[in-house]
Amino acid sequence: MYVRKLPLPPPPPTRVGTRAGRSAVSRRRAHAFRLRYAGFARMFATVGILTLCVVVYLGLMANVTRMNYDLAKRLAQRARLMDESSRLDDRIARLSSRERLGEVAAHLGMRQPQTFAEIALPQAHPLGSHGLALLDWLK
Contact status, residue 80 vs residue 86, Cβ threshold 8 Å: no
- Name residue 68's amino acid: N
Contact status, residue 47 vs residue 53, Cβ threshold 8 Å: no
Query: Phi-psi category of 31—alpha, beta or left, where left has phi over 0 and alpha has psi -120 to 50?
Result: alpha
Q: At a CB cut-off of 8 Å and minimum separation 6, what does 131 contact? A: 139
Q: Which residues of 57-80 are buried (b: 16+ CB within 10 A; e: fewer)?
A: eeeeeeeeeeeeeeeeeeeeeeee
The CA-based angle 109-115-116, given to 5 degrees, is 110
Residue with more model confidence, 137 or 67 = 67
Instruction: Grade residue 7 by pLDDT with cuts at 50, 70 and 90.
Output: confident
pLDDT at residue 72 in the model: 97
CA nearest 98: which of 87, 106, 108? 106
Residue with more model confidence, 88 or 119 = 88
Which DSSP helix (H) or strand (E) runs through 81? Answer: helix 19-95
Per residue in 37-59, pLDDT (tens digit) is: 888 889 999 999 999 999 999 99
Positive or negative, the CA dihedral 82, 88, 90, 96 is negative
Contact status, residue 130 vs residue 136, Cβ threshold 8 Å: yes
Instruction: Grade residue 119 by pLDDT with cuts at 50, 70 and 90.
Output: confident
- Please tell me whether the overall predicted TM-score, pTM, comes out greater than 0.75 for this model: no
pLDDT at residue 123 in the model: 83
Q: At a CB cut-off of 8 Å and minimum separation 6, what does 43 contact? A: none
Instruction: Grade residue 76 by pLDDT with cuts at 50, 70 and 90.
Output: very high
130 pLDDT above the threshold of 90: no
